[in-house]
Amino acid sequence: MTTQIKTPSLEEFLTVTAGSKEVGLIIAKDASESEGFARSLDGMGFKRSEKVSDLSKLQKSYLVMDEGTAKDAYDFAVQYPSGQVEIFDKEQMQSQSFSPDYGSLNLVLLVVKDDLNKLQTKGFDLLSAVGPAFQS
């Protein structure tokens, strides 16, 4: 008897992250796949956040991680399960705090695998800070 493992779809993955007390992570193979994931997320009603502090303002949102957002995204992912998140807004030069309403939120970080590896070597152990992860 042959055992087959079904890889979940992006849609199935997002049903798991909805209402989760942890931030979800989507790992793209390359920039092209990352753009495809972003289009899919947009098509499913997710809004792209330009900075980490925007994640707290939308119910269904995602952030494309890069070196510029890495530290803030990591800090956000670490604090999110605690029920109290504090982010320093560099534009307003002040800290912003919020308490997530988990039941209504679906927050996802999107990162290219090579960028994830670079971030991990810089000390941002993102895989241990997030909840469910999706990779095609």
The pLDDT tens digits of the residues spanning 27-85 come to: 999 999 999 999 999 999 999 998 888 887 889 999 999 888 888 899 999 999 999 99
Q: Which residue has the higher pLDDT, 6 or 125?
A: 125
Tell me the average pLDDT across 96-102: 87
pLDDT at residue 4, as a whole number: 59
The pLDDT tens digits of the residues spanning 10-19 come to: 999 999 999 9
Phi, psi of 129 (to 5 degrees): -95, -20
Distance CA 134, CA 136 (A): 7
pLDDT at residue 68, as a whole number: 81
Q: pLDDT category, 3, cuts 50, 70, 90?
A: low
Distance CA 100, CA 32 (A): 32
Q: What does the H/E/C string look like for the chain?
A: CCCCCCCCCHHHHHHHHCCCCCCEEEEECCHHHHHHHHHHHHHCCCEEECCHHHHHHCCEEEEECCCCCHHHHHHHHHHHHHCCEEEEECCCCEEEEECCCHHHCEEEEEEEHHHHHHHHHCCCCHHHHCCCEEEC
Residue 90 has pLDDT above 80, yes or no: no
pLDDT at residue 88, as a whole number: 79
